[in-house]
């Protein structure tokens, strides 16, 4: 059954512009001169704004004025329902606006998706919200839902932008250095066919209770970098190890001496992950394989040479999901995930044997104990109390949600009992047996042609620039030029 529109009819204003009438007989715009009213509202909009969110489409005249006045603007205009939008498209101006590539007319049901897909702070800068008060007064119930969606979406976008602003420069530097190293690599990634099950190993506290299960030899073991040293200290050699983090601290996962037993282990590094860690593995004459998990520059490199760079999923940025995706693409029909607690339990943040044990032990003294350092780590953000003395955070809960959304999106049957995920699936092997050397020189030539006019490649670095005080007031075009020059300085 089709929803009833909040509008009843379309009338002509005194100036001849068609405007919609609400069911209660009111209009959300002036019946006399809606054009002049829109121009008056436009005076409150700062000239540097490039992204607008309009509550209440109405006749479309305000949207038209914004589109004409702000050359590079993107505009999202929201109505209560699709039914309302279809009604408003009977107005020729609204119909015309709906065909523009820079204007998105959406209902409250798809507002979050539309906003998250189109608003890029690194590109657009600040967002301007315009709320039509008459429309809001007549639609208070749905406006509360719109407010919630805007708040949740902007929080998500802001968190993503903050990560890009923090890591944008590091990522770009790591990618270019890692690609140069990839030009030296050949890697055989065939898995041991005798092992029918895969174990994905995260470093949650529950790993201490289940680690003995990994010593029987039945599993093909895929370890996250944090869990790698925990396994090694228990005499367990992983078949594959994954690194995703671009920070220098990631090097600490590989501080210990690389053993001869690791000669058959394949170390998978995201192109944006810490270059020093990858170089340590390379210098130890161990196997390296690079993958791309979503950075636009990494994706360009993978598209250029698909036989050199794998594609793995990272979800919200937790390496556990990426390790799981690798297990799926290896073709295993049963995958168990160990240590994916996504919480702190028994006063512990991680399992025993991670690099933090070593660092905190070295850093401890009488007034700063090892236990105190771990407590500081756990209490750095607000904790959410769970069952049986467990504590989590919003970030950890988002990781868990992302992991389980991945499982559902892949239609994978799974159960989670006592922090042990058990997954069954069909064989779907997609990994090549051999990874070839990356053609770095050829890619640089390709990159010089692609980067011209392709701002998407540069967005993470531009996000980093926008957070720098001396670049904050600069135009997007200028930031693009700076980011482009930085990128092409690698050769």
**Sheet containing 127-131: order of strands:** 103-107, 74-79, 51-55, 127-131
From the number of C-beta atoms within 10 Å of its C-beta (0-12, 13-18, 19+), residue 88 rates as buried
* DSSP code per residue over 87-101: HHTTSHHHHHHHT-T
Cβ atoms of residues 308 and 352 within 8 Å: no
Q: Do you know the residue count of the chain?
A: 491
- Beta strand spans in 347-488 (E): 384-385, 391-392, 413-417, 420-424, 434-435
Give the pLDDT of residue 346.
67
Closest CA to 468 of 456, 482, 454: 482
Exposure string of 200-214, with b = 16+ CB inside 10 Å and e = fewer, is bbbbbbbbbebbeeb
What is the rounded distance in angstroms from the CA atom of residue 150 to the CA atom of residue 106? Answer: 13
The gap from C-alpha 1 to its chain's centroid, in whole angstroms, comes to: 37
What is the rounded distance in angstroms from the CA atom of residue 25 to the CA atom of residue 134? Answer: 12
Give the pLDDT of residue 71.
84
The contacts of residue 135 (CB under 8 Å, 6+ apart) are 28, 55, 56, 58
Phi then psi for 399, rounded to 5 degrees? -65, -45
Cβ atoms of residues 87 and 39 within 8 Å: no
Give the pLDDT of residue 466.
86
Decide the pairing of beta strands 391-392 and 413-417.
unpaired
Give the pLDDT of residue 374.
47
What is the rounded distance in angstroms from the CA atom of residue 301 to the CA atom of residue 31? Answer: 56
Closest CA to 259 of 273, 245, 238: 238
Q: What tens digit of pLDDT does each residue of 393-430 get?
A: 777 787 888 888 888 888 888 888 888 899 998 766 67
| SS3 letters across 443-484 | HHHHHHHHCCCCHHHHHHHHHHHHCCCCCCCCCHHHHHHHHH
Q: What tens digit of pLDDT does each residue of 178-190 get?
A: 999 999 988 877 7
Place of tokens 């895969």: 198
pLDDT in tens, the chain (491 residues): 346 889 999 999 999 999 999 998 999 999 999 999 999 999 888 888 889 999 999 999 999 999 999 988 899 999 999 999 999 999 999 999 999 999 999 999 999 999 998 998 888 888 999 999 999 998 888 899 999 999 989 888 888 888 888 889 999 999 999 999 999 988 877 777 677 799 999 988 888 889 999 998 889 999 999 899 889 888 899 999 999 988 887 777 787 767 778 988 999 999 999 999 999 999 999 999 999 988 889 999 999 987 889 999 887 678 999 999 999 989 898 999 998 887 777 666 667 766 555 554 455 555 555 555 445 544 556 666 667 667 667 777 878 888 888 888 888 888 888 888 999 987 666 787 778 899 999 999 888 887 776 778 888 999 899 888 678 778 888 888 898 888 888 76
- Residue 185, token pair as written in the block: 């690599």
Exposure string of 150-177, with b = 16+ CB inside 10 Å and e = fewer, is beebbeebeebbeebbbbbbbbbbbbbb
| SS3 letters across 307-321 | CCCEECCCCCCCHHH
Give the pLDDT of residue 47.
81
């Amino acid at each position: 059954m089709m929803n009833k529109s909040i509008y009843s009819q379309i009338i002509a204003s005194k100036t001849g512009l068609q405007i919609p009438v609400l069911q209660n007989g009111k209009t959300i715009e002036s019946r006399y001169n809606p054009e002049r009213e829109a121009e008056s509202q436009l005076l409150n909009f700062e000239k540097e704004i490039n992204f607008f969110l309009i509550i209440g489409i109405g006749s479309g005249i305000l949207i038209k004025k914004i589109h004409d006045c702000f050359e590079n603007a993107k505009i999202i205009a929201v109505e209560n329902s699709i039914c309302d939008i279809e009604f408003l498209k009977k107005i020729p101006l609204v119909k015309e606006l709906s065909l523009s590539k820079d204007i998105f007319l959406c209902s409250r049901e798809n507002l979050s998706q539309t906003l998250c897909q189109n608003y890029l702070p690194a590109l657009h800068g600040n967002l301007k919200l315009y709320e039509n008060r008459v429309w809001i007064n007549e639609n208070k119930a749905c406006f509360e839902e719109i407010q919630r969606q805007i708040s949740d979406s902007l929080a998500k976008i802001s968190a993503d932008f903050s990560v890009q602003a923090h890591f944008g420069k590091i990522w770009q530097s790591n990618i270019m250095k890692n690609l140069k190293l990839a030009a030296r690599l050949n890697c055989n990634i065939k898995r041991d066919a005798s092992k029918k099950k895969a174990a994905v190993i995260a470093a949650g506290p529950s790993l201490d209770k289940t680690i003995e299960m990994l010593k029987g030899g039945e599993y093909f073991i895929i370890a996250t970098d944090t869990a790698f040293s925990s396994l090694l200290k228990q005499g367990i050699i992983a078949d594959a190890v994954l690194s995703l983090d671009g920070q220098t601290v990631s090097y600490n996962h590989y501080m210990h001496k690389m053993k001869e037993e690791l000669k058959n282990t394949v170390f998978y590094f995201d192109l944006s992950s810490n270059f020093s860690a990858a170089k340590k593995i390379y210098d130890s004459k161990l196997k390296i394989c690079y993958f791309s998990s979503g950075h636009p520059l990494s994706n360009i490199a993978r598209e250029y040479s698909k036989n050199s760079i794998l594609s793995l999923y990272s979800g919200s940025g937790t390496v556990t999901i990426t390790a799981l995706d690798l297990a799926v693409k290896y073709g295993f029909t049963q995958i168990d995930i160990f240590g994916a607690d996504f919480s702190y339990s028994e006063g512990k943040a991680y399992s025993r044997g991670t690099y933090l044990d070593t660092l905190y032990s070295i850093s401890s003294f009488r007034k700063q104990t090892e236990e105190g350092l771990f407590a500081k780590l756990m209490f750095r953000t607000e904790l959410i109390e769970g069952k049986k003395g467990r504590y989590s955070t919003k970030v950890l809960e988002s990781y868990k949600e992302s992991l389980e959304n991945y499982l559902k999106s892949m239609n994978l049957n799974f159960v989670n009992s006592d922090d042990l995920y058990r997954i069954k699936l069909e064989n779907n092997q997609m990994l090549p047996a051999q990874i070839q050397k990356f053609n770095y020189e050829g890619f640089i030539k390709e990159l010089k042609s692609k980067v011209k006019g392709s701002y998407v490649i540069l967005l993470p670095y531009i996000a980093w620039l926008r957070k720098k005080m001396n670049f904050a007031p600069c135009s997007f075009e200028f930031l693009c030029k700076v980011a482009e020059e930085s990128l092409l300085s690698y050769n």
